[in-house]
Amino acid sequence: MRILVIEDESRIQAFVRRGLEAEGYGVVTAGDGYDGLSLARSGDWDLVVLDLLLPGVNGLRVLQELHREHPQLPVVILSARGDLRTKLKGFELGACDYIAKPFALDELLARVRVQLRRAAPPEEDDHVLHAGHVVLDLARRQARVGAVVTDLSDREFRLLHHLLVHVGEVISRERLLADVWGYDFDPGSNVVDVCVRRLRQKLGPDAHIETVRHAGYRLAAA
């Protein structure tokens, strides 16, 4: 994990650096807004700690530029300006947290940890397919939507698997019938609709299994 600290007071800069390094983070510091912004742009950072009253480019300006270019990058403001207006401005410009000076190092470290956890991508592995809110565990044959985990019947599992592999595509009933049920099924059968209904009941509305009129079904990508 790499953290950029933009802070002009050398005492605080060193204090924050030592604290973060003791937690195992890689830390680079910048002492003014110009350096901070150019380092922030050129590097691959997991988080930025940003002072507001900076020589060169003002911290709020740095934040604004940075957030426009890297909206996913968490920026924690660390500032002596603890007034509500400045705080709100910081959040409006994209900061994810705001710590007023003077501050306790432990609090800074705790807040940094929270932001890094939040920003971490979901764990990927070969046994999981996911799209939008739906996660399908291939080994356990379970679906998860948000915090709710559901066991699936064999047919439900295969239907959901098919929708996930073809996420965003409209898949006709005929194709689902052929691919999931096999060609020996009566094409006039409503088993697909029944199974989709059951899946929707089990997974809830967040799963976004859409009916496309006269065409088939589609699992929305988000």
Which of 19/56 has CB closer to Ca ion? 56
Question: Which is nearer to Ca ion, 53 or 116 (by Cβ)?
Answer: 53
Residue 165 within binding range of Ca ion, rule CB under 5 A: no
Q: How far is the CB of 10 from Ca ion (least distance, A)?
A: 11
Buried b (16+ CB within 10 A) or exposed e, 88-122: ebbeebbbbbbbeeebeeeebbebbeebeeeeeee
Binding to Ca ion by residue 53, rule CB under 5 A? yes
Smallest separation, CB 209 to Ca ion (Å): 52
Cβ at position 54, least distance to Ca ion in Å: 6
Sorted by sequence, the CB contacts under 8 Å of residue 220 that are 6+ apart come out as 131, 132, 167, 168, 208, 209, 210
Does position 51 interact with Ca ion (CB under 5 A)? The reply is: yes
The smaller minimum CB distance to Ca ion, of residues 51 and 97, is found at 51
- What is the Cα–Cα distance from 159 to 153, expressed in whole angstroms? 10
Residues touching Ca ion: how many (CB under 5 A)? Answer: 3
- Least CB distance to Ca ion at residue 213 (A): 60
Measured from the CB atom, is 10 or 153 closer to Ca ion?
A: 10
Is the distance from CB of 83 to CB of 61 less than 8 angstroms? no
What residues between 1 and 20 interact with Ca ion by CB under 5 A? 8
CB atoms under 10 Å from CB of 203, counted, come to 22
35 or 51, CB closer to Ca ion? 51
CB of 156 to Ca ion, least distance (A): 58
* Residues 81 and 89: beta-carbon distance below 8 Å: no
Q: Can you tell me which residue has the tokens 């901070």?
A: 36
CA distance 103 to 84: 17
Residues that bind Ca ion (CB under 5 A): 8, 51, 53
